[in-house]
Amino acid sequence: MSANAAAEAARPYNYAYLDEQTKRMIRRAILKAIAIPGYQVPFASREMPMPYGWGTGGVQVTASIIGPSDVLKVIDQGSDDTTNAVSIRKFFEKTAGVAVTTATTAASIIQTRHRIPETPLGAGQVLVYQVPIPEPLRFLEPRETETRKMHALAEYGLMHVKLYEDIAKHGRIAKTYDYPVMVGGRYLMDPSPTPKFDNPKMHRSPALQLFGAGREKRIYAVPPHTDVVSLDFDDHPFEVNKFDKPCALCGATDVYLDEVILDDRGGRMFVCSDTDNCETRRADGHRGELLGNEEPRA
Amino acid sequence: MPVEALFAISPRPGLADPVMQSQTVFRTVMAALAEPGTIHALPETLTGTIDAPAPITPAAAAILLALADYETPIFLDEAARNADVGAFLSFHCGSRITDSAGEASFALIADPTSLDRLDAFAPGTLDYPDRSTTLIVQVAELGDVSGEGSVRLRLTGPGIADTARIGFGPVNAGLVAALADNRARFPQGVDLIVTDGAGILGLPRSTRIEEEGF
Amino acid sequence: MYVAVKGGEKAIDNAHRLLGHDRRGDPEIAEISTEQIAGQLKLAVARVMAEGSLYDPQVASLAIKQARGDLIEAIFLARAYRTTLPRFGYSLPVETSRMVVERRISATYKDLPGGQILGPTFDYTHRLIDFGLAGETLPERPAENPAGLEPAPHVTGLLNDEGLIERNAARSDDPPRDLTREPLAFPAGRDLRLQNLARGDEGFLLGLAYSSQRGFGGSHPFVGEIRIGEVQVEFFAEELGFAVTLGRVQLTECEMVNQFKGSATEPPQFTRGYGLVFGQSERKSMSMALVDRALRAEDLGQDVTAPAQDQEFVLSHSDNVQATGFVEHLKLPHYVDFQAELGLVRRMRAVAAAARADEPEEAIPAEADDMTEDREAAE
């Protein structure tokens, strides 16, 4: 279906649903966000036809940047098949007449909730994150008026104290996702609730990373090739979650895994969270334990 | 006012397909600001249809038509300040034309040889650094430059893998120092979109700029 | 054999088909019409219009039907529709003193110009289920006031004449702010606070208002007046040079008069709390007026000690479309984050178990149990 035909079919709504004034307002916010990496730009988030907390920020960002020549991939928990990913992908197929894909490498825009694809992103790609709580300091200081001052003065002692308390109490930083990062050496940023496993992928990525928080009305960005450093201490360096087993389907070892309960007697297996990566590996001949443990011939 | 009357006062055509062309222009500007030092071109088919009054170039006009509206006052530098330009922008964008650089969301700089300082424009506040002016700077040459009064710059910072080299001009001799001062105020500051009429170069406030000799 | 979950799209389509089927209910029973909803469930329609920020009884009725009577879902539908409508500008201030009053009561004066008019109220009904309503009914014709209505000036205006109540700020010529067009920044002015409250969840405002009466905020309110009725909405058309009438809307207005002993900056006087809501929404307008007054604590030089006085707390959490979205988003898959937490809990339990094995004398360390105490909910 051509873009015009699709837009036609979706009437009475505008291309990509949002009206042009709203798009301009969001586009301006995106440009400011890119110019001030890690700073949360307030924007007049609109009421979307899906609930707040279900990706309205990401959807508004995607709707404002997307055009007929884009190829869109939508993932939730790393997977293209989860219901909310399906629903958002369908929304853009319908309102923007855009081509969709599940292949990370084929996408020009990837909207995500909770994961960064395992396949390294390339120049020209845009990763759009759905963000529930954009403020990394929110759970330490609930007041916007206070956290805004902290960002203005780059006064992030509160976060360091909290992480250090974790170490004193638990022997480690007890934060496994939403793990705070410093962007460009200036702004403390919440990477959205991706597992900290994914944090290193943000650092100097050649892709543009955009973050949309609809309910909280904030947009922020990490331009390509920008330093994104997970907070840590010299004696407690940042480390990512590790898994004891490889993916049962494709045998991958350096990826994030989902635990799947097989029965009520403790039977469980681990499989790739990134379904595209897993399928690509299997198509290339990799086989995990469940499929007979094979590696492709060189 | 009847629609026909509006058309009668419409000075010249703007974007032929506002929805799709605004998206194209925005993506080009977005890529330019995300990758400072790289020139991003607007399609000829788009700039070719815009008939903006002098001295606005089609590319600068396209950027304003795509991004400005009634929420964004526009400042015009002396070279651009004429009735036709004002009418064109207020008609197509619905923007208010302001004489105060400090309250402008966008500033159109048609003659950058007179642009010796950036501190008259809104730099935002420490609390809200986004409340700042974006300058659209028209230059005669962009990329490989040789002309009198042009500058060659070495850029580092977000969006640049290592270093980028770019030239443009002619510009005022004080502009490079003003850009360095602008960077020193980060996160406050202004952002520049430099265009030679076809290509677009982004110079966000986050970019570190050094002048290189010819 | 494990098979990754597939076919989300088909599952969604089927779920929506079932929803449509359930919405209709028993096909032997006549389908409910939007006219019936608009005419007979008027207060539900009023709430959807008020919190949906859209005065359109037809759309609100349809939203209620589509939402199967779930009013917050209907409000959400109305809001999402509202966002797509073009915005032409803002109306002139409505003149509630010229309201065609259907109901008007004051708790501060026994009688007053314009009189006490009870109107269609649940007040003084005995809350006994009326089994007669189970069948068809033919209610009596309403009684008519042969004298007609006399002008009903605002009670606060009467108090103002005596200088006993604070003066309202002079009407400003500045364009009103609109929180649907710009993000809310704190501290927010009273115009934005009132807009936020007018759209806010009735239950949330009711609870806050109640808390302010019970000592959390120490308000001492009197209902100066509640009035319900229709007013004209006028729009000043620049190109014509005069105001044109767009139509009429039904409003409920509540003016609370609050006792105030004075503060370091303000003399003793009565102070105001204001509520204005689309439709007949007495509970909402009263709650709004109480919370408005509570939120003015800082302006009046009072200490901010209670939740209802805390504008960041109130304004950030009053919107039921935002609230329901974020609360309900917890049912979306979170297994990536949960996996990360599982790993952490297992590791920490292993560490704790090893410590116990090493030091059999020591009590079980508490960390394993309370370590998530200060962690946020999964997002």
Q: What is the pLDDT of residues A211-249, one digit of tens each?
A: 999 999 999 999 999 999 999 999 999 999 888 899 999
pLDDT value, residue C168: 81
Sheet (strand A41-42) strand order = A41-42, A218-222, A208-213, A126-130, A109-113, A71-76, A99-100
A139 part of contact set with chain C, CB < 8 Å: yes
Is the pLDDT score of C315 beyond 90? yes
pLDDT value, residue C335: 86
Rounded Cα distance, A9 and A89, in Å: 16
Is the same domain home to C48 and C160?
A: no
A241 part of contact set with chain C, CB < 8 Å: yes
A200 part of contact set with chain B, CB < 8 Å: no
Determine the average pLDDT of the residues in C92-100. Answer: 93
Is the pLDDT score of C6 beyond 70? no
Is the same domain home to C347 and C235?
A: no
Is the pLDDT score of C49 beyond 70? yes
Closest of C59, C103, C66, C113 to residue C82, by C-alpha: C59
pLDDT value, residue A186: 98
Structural domain that includes position C44: 19-82
Is the same domain home to C277 and C365?
A: no
Sheet (strand B151-156) strand order = B141-143, B164-169, B151-156, B208-212
Give the per-residue SS3 of B52-77.
Answer: CCCCCCHHHHHHHHHHCCCCCCEEEC
pLDDT in tens, B23-56: 999 999 999 999 999 999 999 999 988 989 999 9
Q: Which two tokens stand for residue B76?
A: 């015009």
Strands C100-105 and B97-98: unpaired
pLDDT value, residue B9: 54
Is the same domain home to C245 and C293?
A: yes
Which residues of A fall within a CB distance of 8 Å from C187?
Answer: 145
Least confident span in B140-154, C156-170, C197-211? C156-170
| Residue whose pair of structure tokens reads 């109640």 in the numeric block | C210
State percent of chain C over pLDDT 70. 93
C208 in a structural domain: yes
pLDDT in tens, B76-120: 999 999 999 999 998 899 899 999 999 999 999 999 999 999 999
- HSE, CB side, 13 Å, CA atoms: give it for residue A252: 23
Chains that touch A (3 or more CB pairs under 8 A): B, C
* Chain B residue at shortest CA distance from A19: B19
Is the same domain home to C106 and C188?
A: yes
pLDDT in tens, A7-23: 444 456 789 999 999 99
C352 part of contact set with chain A, CB < 8 Å: no
Is the same domain home to C78 and C103?
A: no
A211 part of contact set with chain B, CB < 8 Å: no
Which residues of B fall within a CB distance of 8 Å from A187?
Answer: 187
A165 part of contact set with chain B, CB < 8 Å: no
Please give, rounded to a whole number of angstroms, the shortest distance from the CA of A282 to a CA of chain B.
33
3-class SS of residue B25: helix
C145 in a structural domain: no
State percent of chain B over pLDDT 90. 84
pLDDT value, residue C169: 78
Sheet (strand A228-230) strand order = A187-189, A181-183, A228-230
Helix (H) or strand (E) holding B18: helix B18-34
How many CB contacts within 8 angstroms connect chain A with chain C?
Answer: 160
A90 part of contact set with chain C, CB < 8 Å: yes
C253 Cβ neighbours under 8 A, 6+ residues apart: C96, C99, C225, C226, C227, C228, C274, C275, C276, C285
Is the pLDDT score of C5 beyond 70? no
The whole-model pTM stands at 0.89
pLDDT value, residue B129: 98
Tally of helices (H runs) and strands (E runs) in chain B: 6, 11
Give the number of domains in chain C: 3
Is the pLDDT score of A288 beyond 70? yes
pLDDT value, residue B33: 98
Neighbours of A138 (CB within 10 A): 15
Determine the average pLDDT of the residues in C80-95. Answer: 88
Q: Do C379 and A262 touch (CB under 8 A)?
A: no
Residues found in chain C: 379
Q: Are C96 and C224 in contact, with CB atoms under 8 Å apart?
A: no
Angle between helices C71-83 and C320-328 (to 10 degrees): 110
pLDDT in tens, C125-178: 999 999 999 988 899 999 887 777 788 899 888 888 888 888 887 777 788 899
Please give, rounded to a whole number of angstroms, the shortest distance from the CA of C72 to a CA of chain A.
11
Rounded Cα distance, C225 and A91, in Å: 48
pLDDT in tens, A70-97: 999 999 999 998 888 999 999 999 999 9
Query: Which has more confidence, A55 or A170?
Result: A55
B146 part of contact set with chain A, CB < 8 Å: no
- Cα separation values, A230 from A77, B49, B54, B123, C379, Å: 21, 48, 50, 29, 19
pLDDT in tens, C264-306: 777 788 999 999 999 999 999 999 999 999 999 998 888 999 9
Rounded Cα distance, C154 and C276, in Å: 14
Sheet (strand C242-258) strand order = C100-105, C221-237, C242-258, C271-278
Which residues of C fall within a CB distance of 8 Å from A257?
Answer: 339
Chain C segment 150-179 residues within 8 A of A by beta carbon are none
Q: Do A82 and C334 touch (CB under 8 A)?
A: no
pLDDT value, residue C274: 97
3-class SS of residue B163: coil
C328 part of contact set with chain A, CB < 8 Å: yes
Please give, rounded to a whole number of angstroms, the shortest distance from the CA of A248 to a CA of chain B.
37
State percent of chain B over pLDDT 70. 94
Give the per-residue SS3 of chain C.
Answer: CCCCCCCHHHHHHHHHHHHHHHHHCCCCCCCCCHHHHHHHCHHHHHHHHHHHCCCCHHHHHHHHHHCCCCHHHHHHHHHHHHHCCCCCCCCCCCCHHHCEEEEEECCCCCCCCCCCECCCCCCCCCCCCCHHHHCCCCCCCCCCCCCCCCCCCCHHHHHHHCCCECCCCCCCCCCCCCCCCCCCCCCCCHHHHHHHHHHCCHHHHHHHHHHHHCCCCCCCEEEEEEEEEEEEEEEEECCCCEEEEEEEEEEEEEEEEECCCCCCCCCCCEEEEEEEEECCCHHHHHHHHHHHHHHCCCCCCCCCCCHHHCHHHHHHHCCHHHHHHHHHHHHCCCHHHHHHHHHHHHHHHHHHHHHHHHCCCCCCCCHHHHCCCCCCCCC
pLDDT value, residue C263: 78
Determine the average pLDDT of the residues in A102-116. Answer: 97
Is the same domain home to C114 and C44?
A: no
pLDDT value, residue C363: 45
C63 in a structural domain: yes
Which residues of A fall within a CB distance of 8 Å from B158?
Answer: 37, 184, 222-226
Chain B segment 165-204 residues within 8 A of A by beta carbon are 186-187, 191, 204
Is the same domain home to C242 and C279?
A: yes
B128 part of contact set with chain A, CB < 8 Å: yes
C287 in a structural domain: yes
C6 in a structural domain: no
Is the same domain home to C363 and C282?
A: no
pLDDT value, residue A232: 94
Is the pLDDT score of A4 beyond 90? no
State percent of chain A over pLDDT 70. 96
Determine the average pLDDT of the residues in A159-167. Answer: 93
C72 in a structural domain: yes
Rounded Cα distance, C195 and C50, in Å: 11
Q: Do B34 and A149 touch (CB under 8 A)?
A: no
* Residues of A carrying an active site annotation: 38, 247, 250, 272, 278
Is the pLDDT score of C261 beyond 90? no
Rounded Cα distance, C280 and A34, in Å: 47
Please give, rounded to a whole number of angstroms, the shortest distance from the CA of A210 to a CA of chain B.
11
Rounded Cα distance, B67 and A21, in Å: 9
Which residues of B fall within a CB distance of 8 Å from A206?
Answer: 161
C143 in a structural domain: no
pLDDT value, residue C7: 61
pLDDT value, residue C369: 39
Closest of A242, A189, A153 to residue A41, by C-alpha: A189
Determine the average pLDDT of the residues in C331-357. Answer: 87
Query: Which has more confidence, C202 or C115?
Result: C202
Rounded Cα distance, C216 and C208, in Å: 9
Is the same domain home to C341 and C283?
A: no
pLDDT value, residue C364: 43
Q: End-to-end CA distance of chain B, in Å?
A: 57
Amino acid letter, C84: T
Is the same domain home to C252 and C204?
A: yes
Strands B199-203 and B191-195: antiparallel
Rounded Cα distance, C169 and A168, in Å: 54
Mean pLDDT of chain C, nearest integer: 88
Closest of B168, B162, B161, B151 to residue B202, by C-alpha: B168
Query: Which has more confidence, C379 or B51?
Result: B51
E-strand stretches of chain A? 41-42, 71-76, 99-100, 109-113, 126-130, 181-183, 187-189, 208-213, 218-222, 228-230, 257-261, 268-272
DSSP B102: G
Chain B segment 24-53 residues within 8 A of A by beta carbon are 24, 26-27, 29-31, 33-35
Determine the average pLDDT of the residues in A117-121. Answer: 97
Rounded Cα distance, A239 and A252, in Å: 19
C138 in a structural domain: no
Rounded Cα distance, A283 and A275, in Å: 12
pLDDT value, residue C366: 40
Is the same domain home to C342 and C205?
A: no
- Cα separation values, C153 from C100, C150, C212, C272, Å: 12, 10, 28, 16
Is the pLDDT score of C361 beyond 60? no
CA dihedral A104, A110, A111, A113 (to 10 degrees): 40
Which residues of C fall within a CB distance of 8 Å from A12?
Answer: 84
